[in-house]
Amino acid sequence: MAVETRHRGAVGQSVTKVDGPSLVAGKPVFTLDHDVPGALVGKILPSPHAHAAIVSIDTAEAEAVPGVRAILHHGNVPRVPYTTAGQGWPEPSPYDTVLFDRKVRFVGDRVAAVAAETEEAAEEALRKIRVEYKVLPAVLSPEEALADGAPVIHDEPDAEGIYDAKHNIVAAVDIPVGDVASALAEAHVTAEATCEIPYSQHAAIEPHGVIAYFDEAGRLVLRTSTQVPFHVRRIVARVVGLDPARIRVIKPRIGGGFGSKQEILLEPVAALLALRTGRPVRMAYSREEVFIASRTRHPMRVAVKLGAGKDGVLQAIDMEVLSNTGAYGAHALTVLSNVGSKTLPLYNKAPHLRFRGKAVYTNLPVAGAYRGYGATQGYFALEVAMDRLAEALGMDPIELRKRNHIRVGETSPIFEKIGEGREGTAQVVRSCALADCLRIGAERIGWKENRGRRREDGPWVHGLGMACAMQGSGITGVDMAAATLVMQDDGSFRLLVGATDLGTGSDTILAQIAAQELGVPVDRVLVYSSDTDFTPFDTGAYASSTTYVSGNAVLRAAQSVHRQILDVAAAALGERPEVLELAEGAVASRKTGRRLTLGEIGHRATYVVDQRQIAATASFTCPESPPPFAAFFCEVAVDRETGVVRVERFVVAADCGVAIHPKAAEGQLEGAILQGIGHALCEEMLFAPSGRCVNAGFFDYKLPSSLDTPRIEAILVPSEEPTGPWGAKSISEIGINGPLPAISNAIYDAVGVRLTRAPFTPERVLLALRAAGK
Amino acid sequence: MSGVHARGVRRFHFARDVEEALSLLAAYEGRGALLAGGVDLLRSLRVDIEGLIDITRIGLSYTKEARGGLAIGGTTTLTSILESRAAREYGGGILADLLHRVAVPPLRNMATLGGALVSAHPWADIPTALVALGAEVRWQGEKEGRVPVEELYQGPFRGLFRQAVAIEVLLPPWDGAFAYEKVGRTGYDIALLNACCGVGVEGGRIAWARVAVGARPDRGERLPWAEEALIGQRPSQTLWQEVQDLVAKRIEVGDDRRASGAWRREVAGVLVERALARASGRAGM
Ligand SMILES: Cc1cc2nc3c(=O)[nH]c(=O)nc-3n(C[C@H](O)[C@H](O)[C@H](O)COP(=O)(O)OP(=O)(O)OC[C@H]3O[C@@H](n4cnc5c(N)ncnc54)[C@H](O)[C@@H]3O)c2cc1C
């Protein structure tokens, strides 16, 4: 036991999550658990039309409803073009949104908002707002959006940053490296795949919610379920016309986000309603509103062409993307860019590359950030094409990956060519255990013994498939995180971070990173995060950034505090700091063996001699974005007679550098795999010809449940990232990139048909079997 | 998906017996509703309801043997049916086969057989099985009656249960066994297609056969021509396959957003074949 306590808190230990006990005890930790007396209820009137001009809005009857305190619509709010995407400055998403417009662009678009004393009064008022619409022809697919003479979705003159509004193209990229066309023509073998992903949902348990209220000084406080508190503050200030210094954003415990809360949705509406009424305002999306009015994954079609020599070494990769951003361009350019930037460097042996694509507007719900952020869509096509290439070469798919994947000391021109909506940053891979991941994962699933066997069990045929992926750790040249670490008079610590724990466990991990440097158990580090009044800046929880970017900031602050502690101890002991060592809650001299506990040091610095606050603020920008790597293996069973696919087993071996908290890292992988299985087998938002989503809820939009969960084996394969805090890289997104291609490839191994349109429903699978004459 | 329209609901009653439930229902003149598990009512789009009359305390929660078959009270939850000893043996274990595939345990703890009978969604599993099993329902309103579920579903049954309580579902004895098949998108999904089949054998030949297919997307119905093709034949894999082909040829199916008619046509045959094969196995053929 003594040994265990000595190591408790060290990096690499699965310590109790700092928020675990309060969650288990059901403490009121979430946004809307907070009761603000006298709060009004805010509600939004959604558009019933996919595309329409608002001819008139008459709110007289609605205002007369008892209890109604304010109604907002395009006629009475400032018109400030902005983007709802919560990204760093300068924002790469177009300013194509205003709070309330004269035009609606999808079923569910904001028409008006009401604040009232009760939910009933707010709903009655919504029903009594008379809106006259002039219905416009709607664009319900990316192909229609690009067709000649298509209705123009963004014809407003004040929008900024749209690539080609007249043709509904929000963003376009075309990045050639070398000469792909000739390389493909000359390649010994070629293979291609065109894969499609539909509209899908993040399905975080907690819907979006916000409370806007005023503090004693009359400043506006937004307590909100967000991944990006600092962007909320900046964007809300601009949109509602308030001095940012008069806004405080607090992020309490979040019930999941997966990217859907990297978006500024309810906050400016609640802020404006609060400002108009002088009253606190609570707003929350219903599950139906989350489906239609928050954000989705970008539906995409990705076409990949590969050319390779006889030895399987890739000569050319051509990737072409058509992305549907829906009615507004939140994350349109950056998700599009990521399709290439997070996939192509994985196979850096290919000298000829081309990445091109368009993101287009449609009159459908708005896509945004979603775990994987384009890489998921890219890997689906890339890894199915790789499976085909292996077949054409008569080579084992694992061998093909081994001959092509990037290794330590290597680079890819893509790192420099594609960044976050602009040029990226050249970088060299400093840690990569993908070769180990491939070997360990293959052994675990029994690749050699079981692949290509087509084991039958009645109508069920079993098959094995695999895929590889990488991601990044933060956004180079954009992300910045800061941390303030304060030593208290009792020798314990306060860690203030802008980093946003949205359920991922980052509060715990950041405490571990500090505790490791300071030689104390985790419970000696009190973490307070994401409050724009009290914590330093952080770009937010997205782009797999927190452990790496925020973690590095914490480590630097801890190193500085470590030095300060040694200085104080040195003065007290009359020794040089170089001979002192901080460990196990005390500073000891290697020379004399004399010791001072942290409590004694804190007390001395606070009260006794040379009084000062031992504290440091440090920040970290992201000069490079070290990729985590993973190899995915799965076994599926396909019912040849009904088309039903069951995932029997899933093995993922991932390299996230040093796992700060192994259980949390495995949890991220397991969750991402299951979310990916949902993409592969059952998740799809469906639309009526009017553009209305017809399955906006869990009754008819299916997530895999515990009944559908196969054995998921998450294996952490260690490497050491020299630029990471204690050797760590990211782990939160990469897991979702594997299931789509691995399952598709496994279905092919089982029954010989390629599924390229997700999800692989019984109907699509059976149709593919019949089309192949099977 | 508008959820609960609690707005209109003014009163909630716990009825003590059937008579009280009926008189309360009558007093609301159409603006009252019987409430059992409530899982369906909560999703319903009815906005006109002012009074909810809870009938779970009127003594209709039981599963018992009755003349070789089963009698199940109208407010018996799906979980308690699953747990009852009497139900376990019935029809070769058909009720466990069926109910384990209905929704998820927390929902089964609330949902009742009466509620399932009355809500009778076209995609639901329980109506398909009730029709295949030849279930009858005993009801009480201004009058009392007893009617085969199959016949009930051919008429305006929703109107009846706005003024009457489904007292009991009676499942007749069968000398043979049934089996249930379902395809959903996940393990807890509603059916894209379902089938319930049963067979009994005498002297080496099929004496009776029941074949019903539901979520076509219409509500489960029997396929009499498929049953006729089975009766008098010797049970065999070949026979099940012949019926599979017949079903695929003749069944009436349609498209909805969950699946196409073409998929349903082919898979209906498969599910019938599988249910027949399993049922005959259970019957010890
Ligand atoms: C999420 C979900 C998943 C489902 N999945 C499945 C599935 O996989 N397979 C399947 O077969 N079904 C499924 N169902 C349907 C479910 O079986 C029925 O909704 C449920 O059994 C209804 O029972 P209840 O007691 O909750 O009914 P309630 O909601 O209480 O009542 C439903 C209706 O019946 C009336 N009613 C209830 N009891 C009586 C009675 N004794 N006499 C007269 N009228 C009565 C009520 O007035 C109301 O109109 C699902 C339902 C939901 C919500």
ipTM of the complex: 0.95
Residue where one domain finishes, among candidates A621, A655, A684: A621
Q: Measured between alpha carbons, how far is A572 from A565 in angstroms, rounded to an integer?
A: 11
3-state secondary structure of A453: coil
Are residue A555 and residue A695 in the same domain, yes or no? no
Q: Is residue B2's pLDDT more than 70?
A: no
Which of B1, B104, B270 is the closest to A288 by Cβ?
A: B1
Which of B7, B257, B259 is the closest to A120 by Cβ?
A: B7
CATH code of the domain covering residue A512: 3.30.365.10
* Chain B, nearest residue to A687 by Cα: B257
Peptide bond into B148 cis (omega under 30): no
Name the helix (H) or strand (E) containing A321.
strand A314-326
Are residue A667 and residue A557 in the same domain, yes or no? no
3-state secondary structure of B282: helix
Q: Which tens digits make up the pLDDT trace of B104-142?
A: 999 999 999 999 999 999 999 999 999 999 999 999 999
Which of B187, B188, B263 is the closest to A762 by Cβ?
A: B263
Are residue A615 and residue A511 in the same domain, yes or no? yes
Asked if residue B166 has its Cβ within 6 Å of ligand 1, the reply is yes
Residues of B in contact with A286 (CB under 8 A): 3
CA of B113 to the centre of ligand 1 (A): 7
Q: Are B235 and B199 in contact (CB under 8 A)?
A: yes
Q: Measured between alpha carbons, how far is A531 from A534 in angstroms, rounded to an integer?
A: 5
CA of B119 to the centre of ligand 1 (A): 5
Asked if residue B73 has its Cβ within 6 Å of ligand 1, the reply is no
Are residue B79 and residue B167 in the same domain, yes or no? yes
* Chain B, nearest residue to A710 by Cα: B187
Q: Are A321 and A198 in contact (CB under 8 A)?
A: no
Instruction: Give me the number of domains chain A comprises.
Output: 3
Q: Which tens digits make up the pLDDT trace of A676-719?
A: 999 999 999 999 999 999 999 999 999 999 999 999 999 999 99
Burial class (CB in 10 A: 0-12, 13-18, 19+), B54: middle
Are residue A467 and residue A484 in the same domain, yes or no? no
Residue A331: what residue type? H
Q: Is residue A454's pLDDT more than 90?
A: yes
Contact flag A642-B3 (C-beta cutoff 8 Å): no
Tell me the residue range of the domain where A218 lies: 34-136+206-255+261-293
Are residue B43 and residue B105 in the same domain, yes or no? no
CB atoms inside a 10 Å sphere around CB A516: 20
Closest CA to A461 of A100, A740, A751: A751
Q: Are A249 and A215 in contact (CB under 8 A)?
A: no
Residues in chain B whose Cβ is within 8 Å of chain A: 1, 3, 7, 43, 104, 183-190, 192, 257-260, 263, 266-267, 270-271
Q: Work out the pLDDT band at A1, boundaries 50, 70, 90.
A: very low
CATH code of the domain covering residue B153: 3.30.465.10
Mean local confidence (pLDDT), B258-282: 97
Are residue A643 and residue A556 in the same domain, yes or no? no
CATH code of the domain covering residue B15: 3.30.43.10
Q: Is residue B46's pLDDT more than 80?
A: no
Contact flag A642-B185 (C-beta cutoff 8 Å): no
User: For position A422, what pLDDT does the model report?
Assistant: 81
Are residue A246 and residue A384 in the same domain, yes or no? no
Residue where one domain finishes, among candidates A621, A654, A673: A621
Residues of B in contact with A766 (CB under 8 A): 263, 266-267
Are residue B193 and residue B267 in the same domain, yes or no? yes
Q: Which tens digits make up the pLDDT trace of A304-341?
A: 999 999 999 999 999 999 999 999 999 999 999 999 99
User: For position A10, what pLDDT does the model report?
Assistant: 77
User: For position A579, what pLDDT does the model report?
Assistant: 97
Q: Is residue A162 part of a domain?
A: no
Closest CA to A277 of A125, A46, A72: A72
Contact flag B263-A703 (C-beta cutoff 8 Å): no
Which of B43, B257, B266 is the closest to A766 by Cβ?
A: B266
Asked if residue B125 has its Cβ within 6 Å of ligand 1, the reply is yes
Alpha helices by DSSP H, listed for A574-687, are 598-603, 662-681
Q: Is residue A135's pLDDT more than 60?
A: yes
User: For position A9, what pLDDT does the model report?
Assistant: 53
Are residue A450 and residue A485 in the same domain, yes or no? no
Instruction: Give me the number of domains chain B comprises.
Output: 3
CATH code of the domain covering residue B221: 3.30.390.50
User: For position B7, what pLDDT does the model report?
Assistant: 62
User: For position B164, what pLDDT does the model report?
Assistant: 96
Burial A454-471 (b: 16+ CB within 10 A, else e): eeeeeebbbbbbbbbbbb
CATH code of the domain covering residue A50: 3.90.1170.50
Determine the distance in angstroms separating the CA of A707 from the nearest CA of chain B, rounded to an integer. 6
User: For position A7, what pLDDT does the model report?
Assistant: 43
Of A251-265, B1-15, B58-72, the least confident: B1-15
Are residue B155 and residue B136 in the same domain, yes or no? yes
Q: What is the DSSP string of B43-101?
A: G-------EEEE-TTSS---EEEETTEEEEETT-BHHHHHH-HHHHHGGGTHHHHHHTT
* Chain B, nearest residue to A678 by Cα: B186
Q: Is residue A648 part of a domain?
A: yes
Are residue B164 and residue B195 in the same domain, yes or no? no
Residue where one domain finishes, among candidates B154, B171, B188: B171
Q: Which tens digits make up the pLDDT trace of A50-67?
A: 999 999 999 999 999 999
Beta bridge partners of A639: A460
Mean local confidence (pLDDT), A70-98: 97
Mean local confidence (pLDDT), B219-248: 98
Contact flag A708-B187 (C-beta cutoff 8 Å): yes
Are residue A691 and residue A569 in the same domain, yes or no? no
Q: Is residue B184's pLDDT more than 90?
A: yes
Are residue B69 and residue B166 in the same domain, yes or no? yes
Residues of A in contact with B267 (CB under 8 A): 641-643, 762, 766
Q: Work out the pLDDT band at A8, boundaries 50, 70, 90.
A: very low
CA of A452 to the centre of ligand 1 (A): 46
User: For position B4, what pLDDT does the model report?
Assistant: 43
CA of B117 to the centre of ligand 1 (A): 7
Residue where one domain finishes, among candidates A269, A293, A317: A293
Which of A459, A694, A699 is the closest to B257 by Cβ?
A: A694
Mean local confidence (pLDDT), A2-16: 63
Are residue A80 and residue A218 in the same domain, yes or no? yes
Mean local confidence (pLDDT), B209-229: 98
**Mean pLDDT of the residues in chain B:** 95
Q: Which tens digits make up the pLDDT trace of A480-499?
A: 999 999 999 999 999 999 99
Are residue A280 and residue A373 in the same domain, yes or no? no
Residue where one domain finishes, among candidates B113, B145, B171: B171
Give, for ligand 1, the residue of B17, B31, B97, B118 to mutate: max count of ligand atoms closer than 8 Å to Cβ. Answer: B118
Tell me the residue range of the domain where B239 lies: 177-282
Among B185, B255, B278, the strongest candidate for a mutation testing the A interface, having the largest count of A CBs within 10 A, is: B185
Q: Are A199 and A684 in contact (CB under 8 A)?
A: yes
Sign of CA dihedral A8, A11, A13, A19: positive
Residue where one domain finishes, among candidates B156, B171, B186: B171
Residues of A in contact with B7 (CB under 8 A): 120, 123
Alpha helices by DSSP H, listed for A216-370, are 229-240, 267-277, 287-293, 332-341
Contact flag A705-B259 (C-beta cutoff 8 Å): no
Asked if residue B35 has its Cβ within 6 Å of ligand 1, the reply is yes
Rounded to the nearest 10 degrees, how much is the dihedral formed by the CA atoms of A239, A240, A241, A244? -80
Name the helix (H) or strand (E) containing B277.
helix B261-282
Determine the distance in angstroms separating the CA of A24 from the nearest CA of chain B, rounded to an integer. 20
User: For position A774, what pLDDT does the model report?
Assistant: 87
Q: Is residue B20's pLDDT more than 70?
A: yes
